[in-house]
């Protein structure tokens, strides 16, 4: 109800503020008997963590997590899995000057108004630091999905106006992590990195797009009419900090198409499975997965904290100037890749479990 839980069956609740004692997550509903590889969790955390490269924020967090409950002798027990990360590098004094001022396009103003008070240190609960908790939970979800043959891979497809022109089918997604911007096309990646460096040099930030592909999803996931698979994927992505748009399959381009162009004809594939020749449906029909690849785009606005002076007001309504200090990302998409994957995994595992109940 208060918005800090996600999922119906594989249900997570995250807690913690950017500069509080710890952030963490409780997973209720992970089936018992799942072998959990803690190193895979750490790997995804490392892909998300600050300070990992020259083009991310320089905040230093080891992001080492601790298992508090729910795992016994390497396996999930069916009891809640609680995990947490202690915050280390809390330079709260960086934020003292912001106690009173509202940073433009941040959540300062809306939190203050909604709750009547706020933990101003580092953005408190509104900080993207909270997404580390999602990555932990997502990394467990992925292990369950992997056993079922479902694989999720996201990558950066745009930074500013630099757009990767190839479709995911033309890319080798295993190369995504080979460069610091997480674009699997090396030539485009270089340009993106250069653009981000230049943007940071100007004390500015820039937006981008993350594309995500899910392979191996069985037919049947998604619960019409409201919990359509793409509706839950959309909500999951839009719940990530800075996301302003979501499209799947033919997406916004599809609005310009005729039905005769956009429809996906069925045929029997070589392995005798009912398949579609094209996949403008993005692997989902009527809100239910159809066995084809699922793919979607997630639009990230530029990070709001810039190192330039901006006009604003303070709590009392006085005009003030604010300028980012702290340590911030010039472009969020490289670190967003594991977050998009984690949220996709959480949606998929939840619907995979829900679908077990669809028929007698």
Q: Between residue 300 and residue 319, which ones bind a second copy under the rule CB under 8 A? A: 300-306, 308, 310-313, 317, 319
Q: Which of 150, 289, 294, 335 binds a second copy (CB under 8 A)?
A: 289
Minimum CB distance to a second copy smaller for 75 or for 178:
75
Minimum CB distance to a second copy smaller for 21 or for 60:
21
| 147-152 LR contacts (CB < 8 Å, sep 24+) | 147/34, 148/216, 148/218, 148/352, 149/216, 150/214, 150/215, 150/216, 150/217, 150/218, 150/348, 150/352, 151/214, 151/215, 151/216, 152/212, 152/213, 152/214, 152/341, 152/344, 152/345, 152/348
> How many residues interact with a second copy (rule CB under 8 A)?
151
Contact status: 90 vs a second copy (CB under 8 A): no
What is the closest distance, in whole angstroms, from the C-beta atom of residue 56 to a second copy in the complex?
15
Contact status: 125 vs a second copy (CB under 8 A): yes
Q: Which of 158, 176, 179, 188 binds a second copy (CB under 8 A)?
A: 158
Do the beta carbons of residue 284 and residue 229 sit within 8 Å? yes
Instruction: Give residues with Cβ within 8 angstroms of 3, minimum separation 6.
Output: none
Instruction: Give residues with Cβ within 8 angstroms of 226, minimum separation 6.
Output: none
Minimum CB distance to a second copy smaller for 99 or for 178:
99
Q: Which sign, positive or negative, has the C-alpha torsion 352, 353, 356, 358? A: negative
Q: Which of 46, 263, 325, 327 binds a second copy (CB under 8 A)?
A: 263
Residues 329-348 that bind a second copy (CB under 8 A): none
What is the closest distance, in whole angstroms, from the C-beta atom of residue 174 to a second copy in the complex?
25
Q: Which residue has the tokens 């300062």?
A: 108
What is the closest distance, in whole angstroms, from the C-beta atom of residue 271 to a second copy in the complex?
12
Q: Which of 52, 62, 79, 92 binds a second copy (CB under 8 A)?
A: 79
Q: Which residue has the tokens 């089918």?
A: 169
CA 251 – CA 193 distance, rounded (Å)? 27
Q: Which of 44, 63, 247, 341 binds a second copy (CB under 8 A)?
A: 247
Contact status: 113 vs a second copy (CB under 8 A): yes
Q: Which of 39, 165, 172, 265 binds a second copy (CB under 8 A)?
A: 265
Do the beta carbons of residue 17 and residue 131 sit within 8 Å? no
Contact status: 21 vs a second copy (CB under 8 A): yes
Q: Which of 173, 204, 216, 325 binds a second copy (CB under 8 A)?
A: 204
Q: Which of 206, 217, 342, 344 binds a second copy (CB under 8 A)?
A: 206
Q: How many Cα atoms occupy the beta-carbon half-sphere of 51 within 13 Å? A: 9
What is the closest distance, in whole angstroms, from the C-beta atom of residue 184 to a second copy in the complex?
18
Our CA angle for 33, 37, 43, nearest 5°, is: 150
């Amino acid at each position: 109800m208060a918005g800090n839980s996600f999922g119906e069956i594989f249900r997570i609740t995250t807690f913690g503020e950017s500069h509080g004692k710890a952030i963490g997550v409780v997973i209720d509903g992970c089936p018992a008997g799942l072998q959990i590889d803690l190193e895979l969790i750490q790997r995804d955390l490392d892909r998300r963590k600050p300070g990992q490269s020259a083009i991310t924020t320089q905040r230093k967090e080891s992001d080492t997590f601790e298992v508090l409950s729910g795992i016994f002798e390497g396996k999930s027990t069916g009891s809640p899995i609680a995990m947490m990360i202690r915050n280390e590098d809390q330079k709260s004094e960086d934020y003292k000057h912001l106690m009173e001022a509202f940073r433009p396009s941040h959540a300062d103003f809306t939190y203050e108004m909604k709750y009547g008070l706020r933990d101003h240190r580092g953005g408190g609960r509104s900080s993207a630091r909270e997404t580390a908790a999602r990555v932990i939970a997502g990394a467990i979800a992925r292990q369950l999905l992997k056993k079922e043959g479902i694989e999720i891979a996201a990558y950066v497809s745009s930074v500013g106006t630099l757009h990767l022109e190839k479709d995911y089918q033309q890319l080798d997604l295993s190369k995504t992590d080979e460069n610091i911007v997480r674009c699997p096309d090396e030539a485009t990646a270089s340009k993106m990195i250069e653009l981000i460096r230049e943007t940071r040099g100007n004390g500015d930030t820039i937006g981008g797009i993350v594309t995500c592909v899910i392979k191996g999803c069985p037919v049947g996931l998604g619960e019409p009419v409201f919990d359509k698979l793409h509706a839950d994927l959309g909500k999951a992505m839009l719940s990530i900090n800075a996301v302003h748009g979501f499209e799947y399959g033919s997406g916004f381009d599809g609005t310009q198409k005729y039905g005769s162009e956009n429809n996906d004809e069925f045929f029997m594939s070589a392995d005798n499975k009912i398949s579609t020749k094209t996949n403008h449906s993005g692997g989902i029909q009527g809100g239910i997965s159809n066995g084809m690849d699922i793919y979607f785009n997630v639009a990230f606005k530029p990070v709001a904290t810039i190192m330039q002076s901006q006009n604003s007001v303070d709590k009392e309504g006085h005009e003030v100037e604010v300028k980012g200090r702290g340590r911030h990302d010039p472009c969020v998409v490289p670190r967003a890749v594991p977050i998009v994957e984690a949220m996709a995994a959480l949606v998929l595992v939840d619907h995979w479990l829900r679908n077990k109940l669809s028929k007698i």
